[in-house]
């Protein structure tokens, strides 16, 4: 099966996550990576058809430009294995930035997903998205409901500073990033054609979510009220 080499390699790397095993099995890695690039080349067409805004760029890009390294940058990790046992890619005009928003793919035993979303590191930019959701709450909730989407992402325990605790959009404003994903069990991973057809059927549900987040990320930041002295600080 087309996914077998990727899944088998990742399972082996997960169980033997060290440099010795990685270098001893480098040929298997290269073969599995070729399969992943073939899959990405097939997905570019269904993504471009559903998302013309990014399609003009991704149709002519090298799929290798979307792929994340399998080796972790150990400068940013402590006490973790040196490799990420998965094949990951971000199908976008710029893989190194979450803007413009694209679609991500991860092939991993028991955790293969396709989806979209937004990660922002700067608090001001995160609040910009929160403000947009608060101002367009009905549209946001309709997109999630009509698309049968379950929102994922990291959340704060309390509302961030500047938002009233009884805000009608409070449950959405606690999020620090916003993701929706479709999970594909290993037993349902057949041919690349079948996977592409399933992604093509999924994209009309995901595209309104992607467009909303893109508009939110590019919107103007709303000013925050200054809390009166003595009022509870609903901070981080």
Kindly report the backbone phi and psi dihedral angles of residue 108, in degrees, each rounded to the nearest multiple of 5, phi listed first. -155, 140
Q: Is the pLDDT of residue 27 over 80?
A: yes
pLDDT tens readout for residues 184-230? 999 999 999 999 999 999 999 999 999 999 999 998 765 544 333 33
Question: What is the mean pLDDT of the segment spanning 74-84?
Answer: 82
Question: What is the mean pLDDT of the segment spanning 147-173?
Answer: 92
pLDDT of residue 221: 61
pLDDT of residue 171: 94
Is the Cβ–Cβ distance between 199 and 116 less than 8 Å?
Answer: no
Q: Is the pLDDT of residue 165 over 90?
A: no
pLDDT, averaged across the chain: 90
More confident residue, 236 or 94: 94
Domains of the chain: 4-217 (3.30.930)
Q: How far is CA 17 from the centre of its chain?
A: 24
Question: What is the mean pLDDT of the segment spanning 66-76?
Answer: 86
Q: Is the pLDDT of residue 233 over 70?
A: no
Question: pTM (2 decimals)?
Answer: 0.88
Q: Is the pLDDT of residue 48 over 50?
A: yes
Give me the percent of the chain exceeding a pLDDT of 90: 75
Judged by average pLDDT, the poorest of 103-107, 154-158, 181-185, 192-196 is 154-158
Distance, in Å, from the CA atom of 82 to the CA atom of 101, rounded to the nearest integer, reads: 28
Question: What is the mean pLDDT of the segment spanning 161-170?
Answer: 89
At 70, the pLDDT band (50, 70, 90 cuts) reads very high
At 112, the pLDDT band (50, 70, 90 cuts) reads very high
Q: Is the pLDDT of residue 59 over 60?
A: yes
pLDDT of residue 12: 98
């Amino acid at each position: 099966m087309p996914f077998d080499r990727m899944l088998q390699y990742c399972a082996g790397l997960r169980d033997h996550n060290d440099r010795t095993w990685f270098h001893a099995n480098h040929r298997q890695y290269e073969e599995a990576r070729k399969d992943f690039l073939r899959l990405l080349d097939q997905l570019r067409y269904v993504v471009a058809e559903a998302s013309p805004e990014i399609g003009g760029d991704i149709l002519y890009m090298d799929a290798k430009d979307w792929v994340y390294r399998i080796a972790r940058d150990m400068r940013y990790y402590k006490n973790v294995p040196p490799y990420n046992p998965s094949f990951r890619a971000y199908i976008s005009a710029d893989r190194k930035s979450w803007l413009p928003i694209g679609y991500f793919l991860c092939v991993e035993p028991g955790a293969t997903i396709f989806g979209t979303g937004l990660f922002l590191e700067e608090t001001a930019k995160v609040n910009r998205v929160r403000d947009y959701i608060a101002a367009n709450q009905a549209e946001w909730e309709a997109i999630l409901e009509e698309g049968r989407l379950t929102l994922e992402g990291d959340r704060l325990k309390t509302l961030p500073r500047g938002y009233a605790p009884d805000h009608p959009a409070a449950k959405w404003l606690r999020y620090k990033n916003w993701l929706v994903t479709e999970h594909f069990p290993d037993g349902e991973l057949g041919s690349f054609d079948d996977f592409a057809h399933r992604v093509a059927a999924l994209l009309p549900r995901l595209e309104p979510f992607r467009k909303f987040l893109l508009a939110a990320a590019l919107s103007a930041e709303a000013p925050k009220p200054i809390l009166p002295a003595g009022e509870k600080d609903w901070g981080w």
